[in-house]
Amino acid sequence: MKERHYGLAAFSLLVFIFLLGPLVIISITSFGPGTVLKFPPDGFSLRWYQNIWDVSMFPRTFVTSIIISLLGNLLALVLGIPAAYALSRYRFRGRELLNAIFLSPVLIPGIVLGFTMLKYVLVMYHLPIYTGLLVGHTVIMMPFIIRVIGSSLSSFDFSIEEAAVSLGAGRIETFFKVVLPNIRSGIMAAVLIAFLESFNNVDISVFMTGPGISTLPIQMLTYVQNYFDPTIAAISVVLMFLTVLLMFVIERLMGGLSYFTKR
């Protein structure tokens, strides 16, 4: 039994090394003083973290990514919350088909979805690039909004809603004063997960961006085609810390949600 235990521990360690090794290497190389990515680095320097701000396209595209993710999140919430409520609250013909349609952006390969949106959103309807990019990111955020909020609604006791209606509250008033406060943690978790998906997206954004308008991940791809310095490694480290921070917040929110649903 001990040999099996040690073997499992060794295998788990190898898996962690395989998963975390590249992240550790990128983090170390981001502090290199040389003009070329090198591991191990010859010294220690923060010049490439400063270079993130010196190269104007990185802060500009960072702001664009933030705006697109926030606006897309807002649109996805406006569309996704009613959809998640209807799918969780009611049983009707075509419910499973409708649910599959809402979740399809996750199932369809990103390149296929991106090319389709380029053809039908930008080319056919002649939408501005910024608007098309916003539509694309809203579409890819919808499944996460609906899935996470739907999961919160599945543990919600709808008899509370019926009690409020029986006491004279209207349906809309009940929805905003009874239903939404009880799934607040799920909504916040859905927003953060969808934000991460949108902010780090490449396959949709590469088709929907154009001259003068780009997102940070696409700009990073463009930069690495012409330069091989540790700037991209430095940006990757910053984004890793941002992702870890948001995932920690999501875990706390989902943990709080589980706590309250068990009480």
DSSP 114-173: HHHHIIIIIITT---HHHHHHHHHHHHHHHHHHHHHHHHHHTS-HHHHHHHHHTT--HHH
Tell me if the pTM is above 0.85: no
Model confidence at 185: pLDDT above 70: yes
Higher pLDDT, 4 or 247: 247
Model confidence at 246: pLDDT above 80: no
Instruction: Count the residues in the chain.
Output: 263
pLDDT value, residue 73: 92
Q: What is the mean pLDDT of residues 186-205?
A: 87
Model confidence at 3: pLDDT above 60: no
pLDDT value, residue 71: 93
| Confidence tier at 4 by pLDDT (50, 70, 90) | low
Number of neighbouring beta carbons within 10 Å of residue 101: 11
pLDDT value, residue 76: 92
Model confidence at 260: pLDDT above 50: no
Model confidence at 200: pLDDT above 90: no
pLDDT value, residue 138: 92
Higher pLDDT, 91 or 72: 72
pLDDT single digits (tens) 204-233: 888 888 777 888 888 888 888 888 888 888
pLDDT value, residue 57: 87
pLDDT value, residue 223: 85
pLDDT single digits (tens) 109-119: 888 888 888 88
Domains and CATH numbers, the chain: 57-214 (1.10.3720.10)
Q: How far apart are CA 60 and CA 200, in angstroms?
A: 16
- Average pLDDT taken over every residue of the chain: 82
pLDDT value, residue 254: 59
pLDDT value, residue 87: 87
Q: What is the mean pLDDT of residues 144-171?
A: 84
**DSSP alpha helix (H) spans, the chain:** 2-29, 47-54, 57-89, 95-107, 110-117, 129-154, 158-166, 171-174, 180-182, 184-199, 205-208, 216-226, 231-262
pLDDT single digits (tens) 18-71: 888 888 888 888 888 877 777 777 778 888 888 888 888 888 889 999 999 999
